[in-house]
């Protein structure tokens, strides 16, 4: 199957050859074959199983809990998630997301149930997951298709912060997965940074702490290889202009302005246009982001390069009526089940590589 795009650094029309194709298509002299891959992230909004885990605060998400979380609701939620995942990234590659970072999952079991859903079963997603110390028991994870990505190391980066009063902060760890993406070294950091509970200013230092962990990893890998390809994805609970991204990660919105020691945030342009991934009190935020190391945007580096970032927000994912009209169509609203998908939109990025 042939796909046509126009890349930022080439003005000619391109044929895109997906990795799973066996035989390269014939091209004219004025056309160039490219492989394409898709990296994505989505906050699932409280994907809990039905069991009461006494070690975490999941009491609401049981059949007897306040949210009356039943097998029927769980099955509907799973079907909804699979519907959306089956679409993400398929505009340019029918295989969709080669890697999908996720957040707000209770455990590995919910991911095991999800990847068995009919809509995405053929992709045979594999799972990377570790339990985190979050008091509610929500974690991050990574789904990946083996024909694109082969991990060789996965670990967690603990949040590791004690407040001035001596209290330990229990929140999500950062998941770091390293492997080969179609033969190229790739490091993925899946994040769900601390919320803004208590106010943005009062909680800012928590997200800056998470950002500093990511920056330290990037600096270390780029010291070994300046062309290292690193992806930071997640629900960062901050916008592209927040200090955690602007000052700590040094994430710039224009690729040609990214200097040594800085990163590229392709979501910045959406934010400037007032487009977000989640809404609160009638205001949009772009908390869900994909940030890339310089290795993805340098014309001197070979292999996969950044092409385009997108937000997956088709009309059926928008709440049509009620208090949250115009917001992402969520699963719960005001403590009541409304049967939606998530209170966040998914984000994804295309990478292209000349053959």
What residue segments make up the domains of the chain, in order of their start?
4-354
The mean pLDDT of 313-336, rounded to a whole number, is 94
Rg (CA), the chain: 20
| pLDDT band at 31; cut points 50, 70, 90 | low
| pLDDT band at 310; cut points 50, 70, 90 | very high
Residue-level pLDDT at 32 = 73
- Give the start-end residues of each E strand in 225-286: 230-235, 251-252, 263-264, 278-280, 283-285
pLDDT score of 4 more than 50: no
pLDDT score of 288 more than 90: yes
Whole-number Å distance between alpha carbons of 156 and 129:
9
Whole-number Å distance between alpha carbons of 16 and 351:
11
DSSP letter at 166 equals S
Whole-number Å distance between alpha carbons of 174 and 154:
11
pLDDT score of 345 more than 80: yes
- Are 310 and 346 in contact by the 8 Å Cβ rule? The answer is no
Residue-level pLDDT at 61 = 95
Residue-level pLDDT at 176 = 98
The mean pLDDT of 248-276, rounded to a whole number, is 97
Residue-level pLDDT at 171 = 92
- pTM (whole model) above 0.85: yes
| pLDDT band at 254; cut points 50, 70, 90 | very high
Strands 32-47 and 4-5, by their bridges, are: unpaired
CA 207 centroid distance within chain: 17
Percent of the chain exceeding pLDDT 90 equals: 82
Residue-level pLDDT at 45 = 98
* Dihedral, 26, 32, 37, 40 alpha carbons, nearest 10: -140
Residue-level pLDDT at 163 = 78
The mean pLDDT of 28-37, rounded to a whole number, is 71
Residue-level pLDDT at 29 = 41
Over residues 169-214, the pLDDT tens digits come to: 889 999 999 999 999 999 999 999 999 999 999 999 999 999 999 9
Query: Nearest CA to 351 among 313, 286, 296?
Result: 296
Residue-level pLDDT at 76 = 98
Residue-level pLDDT at 11 = 27
Whole-number Å distance between alpha carbons of 200 and 67:
28
pLDDT score of 7 more than 70: no
Residue-level pLDDT at 168 = 83
* Dihedral, 140, 144, 150, 151 alpha carbons, nearest 10: 0
DSSP letter at 164 equals T
Lowest mean pLDDT across 4-8, 162-166, 277-281, 336-340: 4-8
Whole-number Å distance between alpha carbons of 61 and 49:
7
pLDDT score of 164 more than 80: no
pLDDT score of 12 more than 80: no
What integer best gives the mean pLDDT of the chain?
90
CATH number listed for the domain at residues 4-354 = 3.60.10.10
3-state helix, strand, coil split of the chain in percent (to 5) is 20, 30, 50
Tokens 């330290």 label which residue?
Answer: 216
């Amino acid at each position: 199957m042939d796909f046509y795009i126009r890349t930022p650094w080439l003005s000619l029309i391109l044929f895109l050859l997906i990795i799973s194709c066996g035989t390269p298509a014939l091209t004219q002299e004025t056309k160039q074959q490219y492989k394409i891959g898709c990296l994505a992230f989505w906050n699932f909004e409280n994907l809990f199983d039905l069991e009461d885990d006494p070690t975490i605060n999941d009491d609401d998400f049981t059949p007897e809990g306040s949210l009356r979380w039943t097998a029927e609701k769980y099955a509907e939620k799973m079907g909804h998630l699979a519907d959306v995942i089956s679409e993400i990234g398929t505009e340019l590659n029918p295989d969709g997301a080669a890697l999908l970072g996720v957040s707000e999952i209770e455990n590995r079991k919910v991911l095991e149930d999800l990847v068995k859903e009919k809509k995405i079963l053929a992709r045979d997603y594999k799972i990377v997951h570790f339990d985190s110390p979050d008091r509610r028991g929500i974690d991050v994870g990574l789904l990946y298709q083996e024909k694109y990505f082969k991990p060789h190391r996965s670990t967690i980066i603990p949040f590791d912060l004690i407040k001035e009063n001596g209290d330990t902060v229990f929140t999500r760890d950062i998941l770091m997965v390293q492997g080969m993406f179609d033969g190229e070294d790739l490091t993925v950091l899946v994040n769900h940074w601390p919320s803004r509970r208590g106010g943005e200013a009062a909680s800012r230092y928590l997200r800056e702490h998470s950002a500093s962990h990511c920056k330290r990893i990037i600096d270390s890998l780029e010291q070994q290889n300046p062309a290292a390809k690193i992806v930071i994805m997640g629900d960062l609970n901050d916008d592209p202009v927040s200090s955690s991204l602007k000052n700590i990660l040094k994430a710039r919105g224009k690729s040609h302005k990214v200097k040594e020691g800085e990163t590229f945030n392709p979501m910045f342009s959406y934010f400037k246009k007032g487009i977000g991934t989640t809404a609160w009190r009638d205001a949009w935020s772009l908390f869900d982001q994909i940030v890339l190391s310089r290795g993805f945007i340098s014309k001197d580096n070979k292999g996969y390069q950044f092409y385009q970032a997108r937000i997956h927000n088709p009309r059926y994912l928008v709440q049509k009526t009620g208090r949250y009209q115009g917001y992402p169509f969520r699963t719960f609203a005001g403590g009541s089940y409304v049967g939606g998908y998530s209170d966040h939109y998914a984000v994804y990025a295309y990478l292209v590589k000349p053959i």
